[in-house]
Structure 1
Amino acid sequence: MQLKLKNPLVVFDLETTGTTISQDRIVEMALIKVMPDGSVEEKCRRINPTIPIPTEVSLIHGIYDEDVKDEPTFKQVAKSLATWLEGCDLAGFNILKFDVPMLVEEFLRANVEFDVDNRKLVDAQKIFHLMEKRNLTAAYKFYCGKDLEGAHSALADTQATYEVLLSQIEKYNGEKVVDLLGKELGVIENDVNTLHALTNKKMVDLAGRIVYNDKNQEVFNFGKHRGKPVAEVLQREPSFYDWMMKGDFPLDTKRKLTQIRLRNSFG
């Protein structure tokens, strides 16, 4: 099948140092330009982000500081990239929430004009979610083969969720669970402890502002201290604790932060 295009369409994906648009940077770009005549041009290159790549992020995309230290910065390639993208519409997976904002932010930092207002943006994730619903009604139909009557009433939703859970365990019992990189996370079993371990991220607080890294250390999961051990930050920058306690963070986050602070006898 060939896409019907009036303008070239660039399908692209970014690997980055993290997910905070204002602070993180691009480390790799892959772009496929599809022309109206069906011809295709591909580009893929790594970028020196000029900031460290957190280890937990490198473990996901496989790109480490050493891999990009000799690569050009985004500022060095920005003008030629903007020229290559001129007149092109953009497509990708989850580009509306992440890739496009990140790309625009990088162009702005480089002081290179890159306007998306007159471009068509196509997000394959949006189409996926529109066509393949991922709500309780869809899950009930998929796992239990039934239509959910009275959806969004507490009792109906709760009963349906219980049936879905039972059907999931029956359907997947004994099957391995792997992540997007093929790493085995465990096996589905009729056991609450096992299911808990598989479905819960290693979060310290419920909002996920503090998480455990691969060394089982409590690290910040946002802002300028993303990936840094909480204990080290609180020791070196005591005012950060006061800033968080006065800030608009959940009470649970503040409680866990205080527990870490007291455990390490800061202040």
Structure 2
Amino acid sequence: MSWITGPLVAFDLETTGTDVETDRIVTAAVVRLEPDGAISAERTWLLNPGVAIPGQASAIHGISTDHARAHGTPASSAIEEIAEAVAEVLRSGTPLVVMNARYDLSLLDRECRRYGLESISERLGVVPSPVIDPLVIDKHVDKYRKGTRALHALCAHYGVSLEDAHDARADAVAAARVVRRMAEKHQPVGAMSLTDLHDLQIRAAAAQSASLQAYLRRTSNPTAVVEAAWPVIPRSR
């Protein structure tokens, strides 16, 4: 039986920025979708990240510093809940869908370290798996398609509705629905075991990073470095 005929759980974050080492979580969602696409369980969080939310980030996800401070859960307790919710999904063997997993899972890892909490890897005893990343898979199965690979573009390409973009819940649901459509269209992916699919993404993400790094060094930045690790960037010592 293919993994696309079973349940999927999707995870998404909205944050203060794009640097996994320094930025903070503002909202998070963990949503379970059944094989027919129905949502059977969900958890969402609004955090007080403990720092000001830059205006550029607020413009994207709609959460201001004042709103987060007034209504958000303290970051340390919320991050413990988020990390345990994600770990519980992976303990169950249910695939975790994360758009651009390298970013979201790495940022969650750094937030755990910031507050002295166990990371997902520490809770599981292994690197998070099985993870399904629509961004990595789409670049692998349709390498030469032009245009952005942002979630809204993937939704348009695969015929998935995306309402309320940059809301963590909405983005999580859309990512799970996109990855099902993607696997249906590209049957070798849909037919893989979860272990093989996870391993494929590790190799594909590394190859994609190497290709981008070579392009940047050739065209604009001779010293460019593009992270190759997936789904979690290792912590620096």
What TM-score comes out, normalization by structure 1 length?
Answer: 0.44
What TM-score comes out, normalization by structure 2 length?
Answer: 0.49
Decide which structure has the larger Cα Rg and report it: 1
Give the number of the structure with larger relative contact order, counting CA–CA contacts within 8 Å between residues 6 or more apart: 2
More helix by share: 2
